[in-house]
A and B are shown apart, each in its own frame.
Chain A
Amino acid sequence: MSRTILVVAEAKGGVLRQVSYEAIGAARTAAGDGGTVAAVIMGSDVTRLAGDLAVYGADCIYSVDHSALTHYHPEAYFAALQAVMQEVRPDGVFFGHTAWGKDLAPQLAAALGAGQISDVISMDTDDSGELLFTRPIYAGKAMEKKKFMSTPWIVTIRPNNIPPLAAEAGRTAPVTAVAYPEPPLAAVIREVVQNTAGKMDLSEAKVIVSGGRGVRSAEGFKPLEELADVLGGAVGASRGACDAAYCDYALQIGQTGKVVTPELYIACGISGAIQHLAGMSQSRVIIAINKDPEAPIFQVADYGIVGDLFEVVPLLTEQFKQALQT
């Protein structure tokens, strides 16, 4: 079966997010033989990114480029997306399960009266060729496969799970500019405070160095940050560390907080309460560093070190620093 699929691409800091390429990969599977993968990029000064979408497999690209779209605005982005929907009339739409996608996708679903399957980590088909979408529930303590009962449909995909297509240098695709409809907006953006300038988002990080109560203070996160920096990763935290105000709730990993699936998860001073394990146990490789040999975190860790994180973590940072310099 061939379908027309629209990918809602997302730019951050002037570049496309990795999850947008992953969404094109998912869309290609869903489109089937002879199907079409369209992609839309919305924002200000973003048309120049269209080429990257083509290289990663989009067949045609729509761009809504307007100063009103400089920052994510729920109503403005929705209006822009609707204008593109009318051009493309897709059978299915893919978003990243990101701050944007989580806000924009349900708006579109409600407006279309469409079904939406959120936070998808893989896709396959049943015996009749129908698409099945796998998603974690209870923060990954269980999994479900879902299917749609009507068209059009909407999916958000979790970053870091669905492989992108191989980049095809020199591949091009037609780019259509769609006018921003300039709707009246109820909400006004007063200010955007960028707390994360230069820092990687947890959901997309390949490496996460995470701290728990064992980190003992806000200052105690310093060695974790240094290790994350060396590895090009992000810093996360357990609920215990957040509740103790060692760090911001934005860093919390667990059933409350974020669910993450990095290549490497380094848990420092985290005991491993079930609600934390739910948020990280789908990571590919897990390291646990904890003073308490009985800590449940060791039950899910590929490598465990019983020891003082303040001794071990800086030594580990030093190891990586030396290795990466040579």
Chain B
Amino acid sequence: MNIIVLVKQTFDTEEKIFIAEGGVVEDGVKFVLNPYDEYAVEEAIRIRDDMGGKVTVVSSGPERAAEALRTALAMGADEAVLLNDERIGADEHAVAQALAAFVGTEPYDLVLGGNFSVDNGAGQVAVRLAKLLGIPHVSAITKLDIADGRAVCSRDAEGDTEILELPLPALFTAQQGLNEPRYPSLQGIMKAKKKPFRELTLDDFGVTAEARTARAELFLPPQRQAGKLISGEPGEQAQELFRLLRTEAKVV
């Protein structure tokens, strides 16, 4: 079973966002493997351990994204590929094109990715990739069973669960609840240093990646202010809150 996992390096979710010179400030920020991609990596490792084969993690991003790939290798992935090319940029059409060029050169039975990245949050790239590769996909899965070249998965559809069966090769995106991602062990971290790590650019595939969208502006939302604290006995608090919601906030 050859498994390709799409990963992205993102800001840690505990980070605050600061803006300078039209961009998000990255100095001193803690970067992590996108939490949804952790589920995808974990699932890939489990399937490989069960069925044999190879897990290749791939990321389109700058040099620093190598660290997220190393984390995936330390968790247990076998090989890593960084598509490090400024021409790819952040536009989802361009990223999907670049990933399709790479995946198209690799043997694969299964492609896994996160449901979305916690930074950009658009959730487009994996589904676009499935379409570009011409393989079926299911997004936001919470369960995946593979047997005899077929997959049975559960899809989270706003709380409802859809159970689908489909043939491989296929692409899936991981939703929370799919599994409990492992922490890299010390041994895993040591081993990761010796695993194959390729750094590629668009020139390796002879393709271009064109942006279809552009950012025109970046800004911070208005800061909320702390409001009123309501004091008194619980009964009084409830009554006063109710009154304020009615007369002041006018929401109910």
The interface on chain B, measured as residues whose beta carbon lies within 8 A of the other chain's beta carbons, has a size of 82
Contact with B along A302-324 (1 / 0, CB 8 A): 11111110011001101110010
A187 near B176 with CB under 8 A, answer no
B224 near A187 with CB under 8 A, answer no
Does any Cβ of A come within 8 Å of B239's Cβ? yes
Least Cβ–Cβ distance between B37 and chain A, in angstroms: 11
Closest chain A residue to B243 by CB distance? Answer: A319
A110 near B96 with CB under 8 A, answer yes
Residues from chain A with Cβ under 8 Å of B96 in the complex: 110
**B 224-245 contacts with A by CB, 8 A:** 224, 226-231, 234-235, 237-239, 241-242, 244-245
Prevailing SS type, chain A contact patch: mixed
Least Cβ–Cβ distance between A48 and chain B, in angstroms: 23
Given A111-B131, A308-B234; A285-B123 close (CB under 8 Å): no
Which of B13, B131, B239 sits near A255, CB closer than 8 Å? B13
Residues from chain A with Cβ under 8 Å of B13 in the complex: 139, 254-256, 274-275, 278
Does any Cβ of B come within 8 Å of A47's Cβ? no
Contact with B along A274-289 (1 / 0, CB 8 A): 1100100110111100
Which of A109, A111, A186, A285 sits near B249, CB closer than 8 Å? A285
Least Cβ–Cβ distance between B34 and chain A, in angstroms: 9
Residues from chain A with Cβ under 8 Å of B3 in the complex: none
Least Cβ–Cβ distance between A236 and chain B, in angstroms: 11
Does any Cβ of A come within 8 Å of B215's Cβ? yes
Contact with A along B67-94 (1 / 0, CB 8 A): 0000000000000000000000001110
A146 near B226 with CB under 8 A, answer no
How many A-B contacts at CB < 8 Å in the complex? Answer: 272
26 contacts between A and B (CB under 8 A): A72-B162, A74-B139, A106-B92, A110-B128, A110-B130, A113-B212, A116-B92, A116-B93, A116-B213, A118-B122, A144-B215, A147-B214, A147-B216, A149-B214, A186-B136, A188-B166, A201-B158, A248-B177, A249-B176, A255-B13, A274-B14, A274-B15, A300-B226, A302-B228, A315-B239, A320-B242
Least Cβ–Cβ distance between B153 and chain A, in angstroms: 9
The interface on chain A, measured as residues whose beta carbon lies within 8 A of the other chain's beta carbons, has a size of 100
Least Cβ–Cβ distance between A183 and chain B, in angstroms: 12
Residues from chain A with Cβ under 8 Å of B157 in the complex: 72, 99-100
Report which B residues bind A (CB closer than 8 A).
11, 13-17, 19, 24, 35-36, 91-93, 96, 118-125, 127-132, 136-140, 142, 152, 156-167, 170, 175-177, 211-221, 224, 226-231, 234-235, 237-239, 241-242, 244-246, 249, 251-252
